[in-house]
Each structure stands twice: as structure tokens, then as C-alpha cells.
């Protein structure tokens, strides 16, 4: 039992970068949460749970034996990206991690660093840029010739996975920012709905295209061999459906969270006006 678990958790290809980034994220949260707790502003258990579940899910799909199957089965690769770009990234962003991670710095300020990163953040968190990047990256890495290169080159494969995770977190951070947009000057709730809708339809179209295309769209899996003898057509249909339906469901889930934030802020405003 222990041996099976150990074998399953052993990374297929060890990536020091993945270990380092995941440890930094986990350590950052623990340290930041502790600092906030001292000020009486500790993140809730739910936020902590959401952050670590998201992080662990992402780690599991890129740095355990799951990664082996994701490299050699198209539909498993789609599950991997579903977790990185949607589910895991969604949970990380839902935890509202930026204030906690920023608390790591304590009272120190880094004006030079802020000057460099502020414009970058403004661009990446812009609703149009975030949406175009979110959809664009899915299409880019699924472009058959690009996909071929990424699955063949270890370095490109790592770039692909990390770009999906980072981009997913940025997109969902914009969508799931819990602050009142009028006070925090973030994207309004209406804009976020539009972002979700704009991201929803291209994903549905792409998923449907892959599902109904002739088998062999991603022949890298035939060339490199599959992890077990699965009919290539079945692999592609499963991968297509996984690109199509679960991401669409995550988008709806995102819209529900946005709706909840909207109603909460409206309620607060009415209460304030009532006072």
C-alpha cells in the first residue's frame, strides 16, 4: 500500500522548478497568514483550504505519476490542463491570495520593484488582455504543430504547463476579486460577466471541433506511443469533451461566484444607504 502510494507520488520527471515554485507559494501563504493573524486579520479556514487544495491539485497533475499519463494520453493531458487552467487556478484565486502573499513583506515596501511590476500587472489584469490570453493560450497550445513540439521537448512542456497555471490564476484573480469594484477600482461585475461569456464560447467551439474532427488531429500521441492501448479516436473524443464541457461548467461556476459578490456588495450598499 505504502509502496504503491510512494510510486504514484514519485514525479515522472523531476522538476526542481516545480518543487521550488510550489514550496514558495505554500511557504508564502503560511508566513503571510501568520503575519496577518498577528494583526487579527487571519484568512479564514475556507480560504486556506481553497488555496492549498488548488495548489496540491496543480502539483499532483504536473509532478506525480499523473504527469506520465498526461504526456502519453491526450485525454489525460486535457485533464491536466483542466486542473491547471481551471479547477486548480480557480481554487487558488478563490482564496484571494494576493493580500496574504503581500503580507509576507510585512511593513517593508519595495518601491523600485513595485514600479517595475505595476505596469505589468495593469496590463495582465486588464479584462480584455486577461480574456484574450486565457482563451488564446488554450488555442495556442492545442494548435497541432505547437502541441507536437511541446510534447517532444521537455523544456517547452514545462513552459506550456506553467504558462497555463499562471495565466489561469491571473484570469480567475480578475474574475474572483472579492473587493467592491467601485472602491478597489477593479473590473466591474458586468465586465467580469462579459469576460466569462467571451471565454466560454471559443472553448465550447474548440472542444466541439476536437470531438468531431477526424481522428489523428494530435498524432504526437501515436508517434510517442500511448500509455496503454486505447483507440486513438476514443482518446481524441474524450479529450475533446474534456476541453468542451468541464471548462464551460467552471465558467458558469465563476459567474455564480461573481453574482454572489455582486449581491453582497449591493446589499451592503443598501444597508449603508439605509443607515
Give yes or no for residue 233 binding other proteins (CB under 8 A).
no
In the DSSP assignment, the letter for residue 82 is I
**Which residue in 40, 119, 229, 274 binds other proteins (CB under 8 A)?**
229
Give yes or no for residue 228 binding other proteins (CB under 8 A).
yes
**Which residue in 37, 116, 223, 263 binds other proteins (CB under 8 A)?**
223
Q: Least separation, in Å, of the C-beta of 8 and other proteins?
A: 15
Cβ atoms of 173 and 106 closer than 8 Å: no
Cβ atoms of 147 and 78 closer than 8 Å: no
For the beta carbon of residue 40, count every other beta carbon within 10 angstroms: 6
Give yes or no for residue 230 binding other proteins (CB under 8 A).
yes
Q: Which of residues 13-52 bind other proteins (CB under 8 A)?
A: 13
> What DSSP element (H or E) covers 58?
helix 45-62
> What DSSP element (H or E) covers 199?
helix 189-212
- Compute the distance between CA of residue 171 and CA of residue 88 in angstroms, rounded to an integer: 12
Burial 173-208 (b: 16+ CB within 10 A, else e): bbbbbeebbeeeebbebebbbebbebbbeebbebbe
From 2-10, 43-51, 226-234, 247-255, give the range in contact with other proteins by CB under 8 A. Answer: 226-234
Using CA atoms, how far residue 246 sits from 67, 172, 204, 217, in Å, is 20, 16, 10, 21
Give yes or no for residue 8 binding other proteins (CB under 8 A).
no
Q: Least separation, in Å, of the C-beta of 151 and other proteins?
A: 7
**Residue 266 DSSP SS3:** helix
Our CB check for other proteins shows the closer of 2 and 228 to be: 228
**Which residue in 222, 233, 249, 252 binds other proteins (CB under 8 A)?**
222
- Compute the distance between CA of residue 163 and CA of residue 137 in angstroms, rounded to an integer: 8
- The set of cell numbers assigned to 231 is 483507440
**Which residue in 29, 51, 59, 72 binds other proteins (CB under 8 A)?**
72
Q: Least separation, in Å, of the C-beta of 75 and other proteins?
A: 14
- The set of cell numbers assigned to 202 is 471559443
Spatial CA neighbour of 67 closest among 140, 1, 13: 13
Give yes or no for residue 111 binding other proteins (CB under 8 A).
no
Cβ atoms of 207 and 245 closer than 8 Å: yes
> What DSSP element (H or E) covers 3?
helix 2-9
Give yes or no for residue 152 binding other proteins (CB under 8 A).
yes
Our CB check for other proteins shows the closer of 11 and 28 to be: 11
Q: Least separation, in Å, of the C-beta of 153 and other proteins?
A: 5
From 45-53, 105-113, 190-198, 225-233, give the range in contact with other proteins by CB under 8 A. Answer: 225-233
Residues making up the chain, counted from first to last: 275
**Which residue in 47, 63, 71, 192 binds other proteins (CB under 8 A)?**
71
From 27-35, 171-179, 221-229, 263-271, give the range in contact with other proteins by CB under 8 A. Answer: 221-229
Our CB check for other proteins shows the closer of 129 and 227 to be: 227
Residues found near other proteins in the complex (CB under 8 A): 12-13, 68, 71-72, 151-154, 222-230
Amino acid at each position: 500500500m505504502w509502496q504503491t502510494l510512494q510510486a504514484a507520488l514519485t514525479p515522472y520527471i523531476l522538476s526542481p522548478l516545480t518543487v521550488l515554485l510550489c514550496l514558495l507559494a505554500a511557504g508564502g501563504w503560511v508566513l503571510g497568514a501568520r503575519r496577518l493573524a498577528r494583526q487579527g486579520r487571519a484568512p479564514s479556514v475556507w480560504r486556506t483550504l481553497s488555496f492549498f487544495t488548488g495548489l496540491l491539485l496543480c502539483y499532483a497533475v504536473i509532478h506525480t505519476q499523473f504527469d506520465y499519463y498526461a504526456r502519453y494520453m491526450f485525454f489525460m493531458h486535457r485533464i491536466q490542463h483542466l486542473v491547471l487552467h481551471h479547477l486548480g487556478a480557480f481554487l487558488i484565486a478563490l482564496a484571494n491570495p494576493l493580500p496574504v502573499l503581500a503580507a509576507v513583506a510585512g511593513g517593508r515596501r519595495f518601491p523600485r520593484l513595485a514600479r517595475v511590476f505595476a505596469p505589468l500587472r495593469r496590463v495582465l489584469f486588464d479584462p480584455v488582455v486577461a480574456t484574450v490570453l486565457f482563451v488564446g493560450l488554450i488555442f495556442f497550445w492545442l494548435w497541432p504543430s505547437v502541441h507536437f513540439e511541446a510534447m517532444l521537448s521537455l523544456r517547452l512542456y514545462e513552459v506550456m504547463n506553467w504558462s497555463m497555471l499562471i495565466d489561469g490564476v491571473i484570469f480567475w484573480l480578475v474574475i474572483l476579486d472579492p473587493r467592491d469594484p467601485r472602491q478597489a477600482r477593479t473590473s466591474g461585475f458586468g465586465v467580469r460577466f462579459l469576460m466569462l461569456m467571451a471565454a466560454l464560447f471559443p472553448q465550447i467551439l474548440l472542444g466541439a471541433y476536437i470531438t468531431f474532427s477526424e481522428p489523428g488531429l494530435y498524432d504526437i500521441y501515436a508517434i510517442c506511443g500511448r500509455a496503454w492501448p486505447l483507440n486513438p479516436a476514443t482518446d481524441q473524443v474524450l479529450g475533446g469533451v474534456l476541453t468542451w464541457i468541464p471548462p464551460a461548467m467552471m465558467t458558469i461556476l465563476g459567474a455564480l461566484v461573481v453574482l454572489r459578490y455582486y449581491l453582497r456588495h449591493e446589499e451592503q450598499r443598501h444597508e449603508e444607504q439605509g443607515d
